[in-house]
Amino acid sequence: MSSELFGPRSVTWQLHADPAMWVAGVSALFLQALHPLAVRGVVRLSDFRDDPLGRLKRTASFVSVSTYGTASQAEEAGARVRRIHAALKVPLPDGGKHPVDDPELLRWVHCAEVASYVDIVRRAGFPVTDRHVDLYLTEQRRSAALVGLDPETVPGTWADMTAYFARMRPALARTTESDEIYDFLTTPPVNPPMRAGWWPVARVAYALLPPWAIAIYGRPAWSPAQAERRLRALRRTAKLIPDRLRWRIPTGNILRAVERLGPEATPSPRNLP
């Protein structure tokens, strides 16, 4: 039995090491913000204003340790997330409170993340087939279980994921909170040089949302063809950085996994199952 949640021969192991995951992570935040209750929780309960891009880094760290850490490390990370969620309630306009660990909210966050990851990394040029996409989504049910979801209630194929989003669409909306997240992601409160580097990433991430999501936001976007060209250019630029340097961010878990398991565990499209 593998000592990792996924293992070096999984789709997850190869795909999560790709530099396009950073763009995919930002796109997932845009998508998540269209759920009025989920985004209300982010705006009212998190410290994203005081910690620019902190949520993206925390999510990246969770994805990294759950993918490349040991199974016990992944379980510890999941338990920590469950404890945090259990203690939080989203304040409602009527004065009530809604639990953050409501399965509907957890499922939305999970699906927005993993659908964005596999779709955008694929569009960046990572060579996954339709079969790989379905394998990836099935594998990601293990991540869903880490945060407290019943894996059987989470889409395990792209067809199921598409149907899930179609069911969810009537519940999604542009709100003052989603506008706040949009403004924050496109113009984060960071120094001008960092903002200049961030801007193309945010614009690409937004333009790669599903067309129905862009329609809900009602903001202008590059065409899908333009966005994909820019995405691939960003990926090519990122791949100029040697893997061993790039994989130090955010936590170095990939490097530690290769040291633990041997060079044959190095993530690569050649190792796709």
Q: Please state the domain extents for the chain.
A: 11-271
- Kindly list the distances between the CA atom of residue 234 and the CA atoms of 148, 205, 269, in Å, as whole numbers in the listed order: 35, 11, 18
Per-residue pLDDT, 251: 85
Q: Dihedrals φ, ψ of 247, to 5°?
A: -80, 0
Per-residue pLDDT, 193: 77
CA–CA gap between residue 52 and residue 160 (Å, rounded): 34
Per-residue pLDDT, 50: 73
143, 151 Cβ separation under 8 angstroms: no
Largest distance between two CA atoms of the chain = 56
- In the numeric block, the tokens 């113009």 are attached to 187
Per-residue pLDDT, 1: 42
User: 80 CB contacts (<8 Å, ≥6 apart)?
Assistant: none
Per-residue pLDDT, 52: 62
Per-residue pLDDT, 192: 80
Per-residue pLDDT, 210: 98
Per-residue pLDDT, 236: 96
- pLDDT tens for each residue of the chain, 273 residues long: 458 999 999 999 999 999 999 999 999 999 999 999 999 999 998 877 777 667 778 888 999 999 999 999 999 999 999 999 999 999 998 999 999 999 999 999 999 999 999 999 999 999 999 999 999 999 999 999 999 999 999 999 999 999 999 999 999 999 999 999 999 999 887 778 777 788 899 999 999 999 999 999 999 999 999 999 999 999 999 999 999 999 998 789 999 999 999 999 999 999 999
